[in-house]
Amino acid sequence: MLKNPETKYRPFIAPVDLPDRQWPSRRLTVAPRWLSTDLRDGNQALANPMGVERKQRFYDMLVAIGFKEIEIAFPSASQTEFDFVRRLIEGDRIPDDVTIQVLTQSRTDLIARTFESLDGAHHAIVHLYNATAPLFRRVVFGMERDEIVDLAVTGVTAMLEESLKRPETAWTFEYSPETFCFTEPDFALDICERVLDVWQPTPERPAILNLPATVEVAMPNVYADQIEWFCRHISRRDAVVISVHPHNDRGTGVAAAEQALLAGADRVEGCLFGNGERTGNVDLVTTALNFYTQGIDPGLSFPAMRQVVEAVEHCNGIPVHPRHPYAGELVHTAFSGSHQDAIRKGFVAQEQRNEGIWEMPYLPIDPVDIGETYEAVIRVNSQSGKGGVAWVIEQDRGLKLPKRMQSDFSAQVQKLADHIGRELDAADIWQCFENGYLPRPTDRFVLVDYEETGPAGQRLFVGRIAVDGGLCSLSGRGNGLVSRVVAALEEAGGPLVDVADYQEHAIGHGVSAQAAAYVECRTTDGRTVFGAGIDPDVATASVRALLSAANNMG
Ligand SMILES: CC(=O)SCCNC(=O)CCNC(=O)[C@H](O)C(C)(C)COP(=O)(O)OP(=O)(O)OC[C@H]1O[C@@H](n2cnc3c(N)ncnc32)[C@H](O)[C@@H]1OP(=O)(O)O
Ligand SMILES: CC(C)C(=O)C(=O)O
């Protein structure tokens, strides 16, 4: 890279000075009109553009998501594109509330072919573009401003003429001065006015002016100033829909769309997951769900996000990044201890509040709303803490470990994760728990069976217990079952068991319910050990937990 990039690159100087800009103090309260251009701008950027079948699958999904305007093709580009338009029209595959849109260059032969593709459509948007930016005027067209205006006017006049030949279709026209964001604002305005002069839109039959950031060259606030300036100056504002079409070259396509909406735009054109030329078009999934998480209905619905991801990956042949906002497979997952702790507490608090408002540390959206489960919310590796481990074992096995036991268990899990050097799944964690706390056949004390005899107040624990492999009969008295088992163990020469904490709970409901018991003990040399027992019978679970703790005393 250059040490002095100023010798090669010029800063983008904001082309409008708008000291009284209004957009920064506005708020977005309603969703815009959306146009999916997946099947056109997205498609033209693929190494292998979609064939008719892939286009059909994508189109059906866009309709199901709720798009009402879909740019389906560049019909004059290829037979496939043309045929797809025909297929939708002839197959009557366009719902009444959906309008298809197609794109054309400003060339009369291409415009004629474009209209031919739309024969018989009930309603359609025809979108014409030509470059207006100085670089493109100079390099691509070799034309002066007035010649570029003539190019646009010739094209939009041809559109009008073609449309008049087909009165059975309700036509909407769209014009894009490309690339608006580095066209001189006065020229962009002038050429759009000249286009409107031809089309004569009315509030009842508005035209769409699309102001693309074909290549994103500045910060989103600069684009927003340009949009606000344009909205203020365009005549017939009530007869014009202002559309924006941000690309993502600087990585701020979504911000550009949102700020452009603040600045007065009515409509956003983009692609699912930001497919499109180079770094892509603005990502409509992210933009829409940004509305949703502000409590605003985006008008687009993703109740099964994984299916959308899979379909888009199939159709585009491009994977969706695991960190993609809202949709990536890792974006609702916490591996790190402090995040896991906060999320786990968040779920408890959410349950206690029970008022429906989503307030969850680290999770801006409830994964369930977009068809994800809570299973993947917390995953465990060597960066995880006790909260995460406790969450997994609770979700997977229904065990609610006491807090100090969580710390103990988490240390063991962390050691294991460090040792094997990968993420631990629920089975790994369960095995670690079994090894650490549940009775094992190789233990010093193994419960065979037991009974409690005698009247209340003088109950006696009598157990058959394998001690070091030999069967023994042990008995002990005490106030409760725990103290009777402790006494029996002592009598048999076992360790002095000082029980510091005992907890139990049910796992599940009904006939298949089990009980889990947890015991925390102090050893005579000051160590703390834990044991756990699981059994359909709560008393047996306690006995097992005590024996496990005794075994863990070493
Ligand atoms: C920013 C965008 O995404 S715009 C959309 C871009 N999408 C596509 O281009 C995909 C579909 N395109 C195609 O299939 C082809 O480009 C076609 C069918 C449209 C045209 O094909 P061809 O005429 O063979 O070639 P090509 O695209 O190279 O045409 C370039 C000519 O069109 C002119 N041109 C480019 N854009 C436009 C426009 N919007 N309006 C009028 N003329 C244009 C160029 O100046 C050039 O003219 P020249 O030959 O006199 O130098
Ligand atoms: C045709 C136009 C709207 C376009 O795709 C762009 O500017 O990126």
CATH number of the 32-316 domain: 3.20.20.70
Nearest by Cα to 545 from 401, 429, 341, 380: 401
Q: Is the CB of 82 under 6 A from ligand 1?
A: no
Domain with residues 445-552, CATH architecture: 2-Layer Sandwich (3.30)
**Ligand 2 centre from 379 Cα, in Å?**
42
Q: Is the CB of 210 under 6 A from ligand 2?
A: yes
419 known ligand binder: no
Nearest atom in ligand 2 to the alpha carbon of residue 210 is 3
Q: Give the ligand whose atoms come closest to the C-alpha of residue 37.
A: 2
Predicted confidence at residue 402, as pLDDT, reads 97
| Calpha distance 259→265 (Å, rounded) | 9
Residue stretches of the chain with pLDDT short of 70: none
Q: Is the CB of 150 under 6 A from ligand 1?
A: no
Predicted confidence at residue 493, as pLDDT, reads 84
Q: Is the CB of 129 under 6 A from ligand 2?
A: yes
* Nearest Cα residue to atom 1 of ligand 2: 129
* Nearest Cα residue to atom 5 of ligand 2: 41
Nearest by Cα to 66 from 248, 251, 242, 297: 297
Q: Is the CB of 179 under 6 A from ligand 2?
A: yes
Q: What is the DSSP string of 7-76?
A: GT--PPPPS---TT--GGG----S--EEEE-IIIIIHHTSSS---HHHHHHHHHHHHHHT-SEEEEE-TT
Q: Which two tokens stand for residue 527?
A: 């160590």
> Residues 44, 78: contact at Cβ < 8 Å?
no
ipTM passes above 0.95: yes
Predicted confidence at residue 496, as pLDDT, reads 86
Q: Is 410 exposed, middle or buried (0-12, 13-18, 19+ CB in 10 A)?
A: buried
Give domain limits for the chain.
32-316, 337-437, 445-552
* Nearest Cα residue to atom 33 of ligand 1: 141
DSSP strand pairing (460-467 vs 470-477) = antiparallel
Compute φ and ψ for 54, nearest 5 degrees.
Answer: -65, -40
* Nearest Cα residue to atom 14 of ligand 1: 77
Q: Give the ligand whose atoms come closest to the C-alpha of residue 216.
A: 2
Per-residue pLDDT reduced to its tens digit, 18-28: 999 999 999 99
| Calpha distance 161→151 (Å, rounded) | 16
Q: Which two tokens stand for residue 280?
A: 């892509």
Q: Is the CB of 178 under 6 A from ligand 1?
A: yes
418 known ligand binder: no
Nearest atom in ligand 1 to the alpha carbon of residue 179 is 1
Place of tokens 């340009």: 226
At 429, which amino acid appears? I
Which of 103, 245, 275 has the most ligand 2 atoms within 8 A of CB, as the residue to mutate? Answer: 245
Name every residue whose Cβ is closer than 8 Å to that of residue 526 and which is 6 or more positions away in sequence: none
| Calpha distance 234→243 (Å, rounded) | 13
Q: Is the CB of 409 under 6 A from ligand 1?
A: no
247 known ligand binder: yes
> Residues 250, 215: contact at Cβ < 8 Å?
no
DSSP strand pairing (170-178 vs 207-213) = parallel
